[in-house]
C-alpha cells in the first residue's frame, strides 16, 4: 500500500472533510482517507487498482485540488 499526505487549500469545514473521505473511500483500492480540517491536509492510503493520478483527478473534480 502507498500513503500520501497532501495540502488541500480549499478544505474549510467538516462538510469538506466528509465529502473528501466519502468520495475517495468509494474508489477501488483506497484503504483509508483521513482529512484534517485545521491543517487543510488529506492523508490517503491506497493500492492497485487505485493510483495517485486517479486520486488527484477525483479530488480536483470534487473541487479539492491538492496544492502543487
**Can you give the residue range of the structural domain that contains 58?**
2-62
The total number of structural domains in the chain stands at 1
Is 7 a member of any domain?
A: yes
- Is 36 within 8 Å of 21 (Cβ atoms)? no
Per residue of the chain (68 residues), what is the pLDDT tens digit? 999 999 999 999 999 999 999 999 999 999 999 999 999 999 999 999 999 999 999 999 999 999 97
Is 68 a member of any domain?
A: no
Is 22 a member of any domain?
A: yes
CATH code of the domain covering residue 24 = 3.30.70.100
H-state helical runs in 1-68 = 14-25, 52-62
Is 23 a member of any domain?
A: yes
Residue 20 CA to residue 27 CA, distance in Å, equals 11
Which of 29, 35, 27, 47 has its CA nearest to residue 6? 35
pTM for the structure as a whole: 0.92
Amino acid at each position: 500500500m502507498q500513503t500520501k499526505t497532501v495540502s488541500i487549500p480549499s478544505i474549510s469545514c467538516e462538510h469538506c472533510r466528509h465529502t473528501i473521505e466519502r468520495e475517495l473511500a468509494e474508489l477501488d483500492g483506497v484503504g483509508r482517507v483521513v482529512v484534517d480540517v485545521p491543517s487543510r491536509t488529506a492523508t490517503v492510503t491506497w493500492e492497485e487498482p487505485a493510483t495517485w493520478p486517479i486520486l488527484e483527478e477525483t479530488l480536483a473534480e470534487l473541487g479539492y485540488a491538492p496544492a502543487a
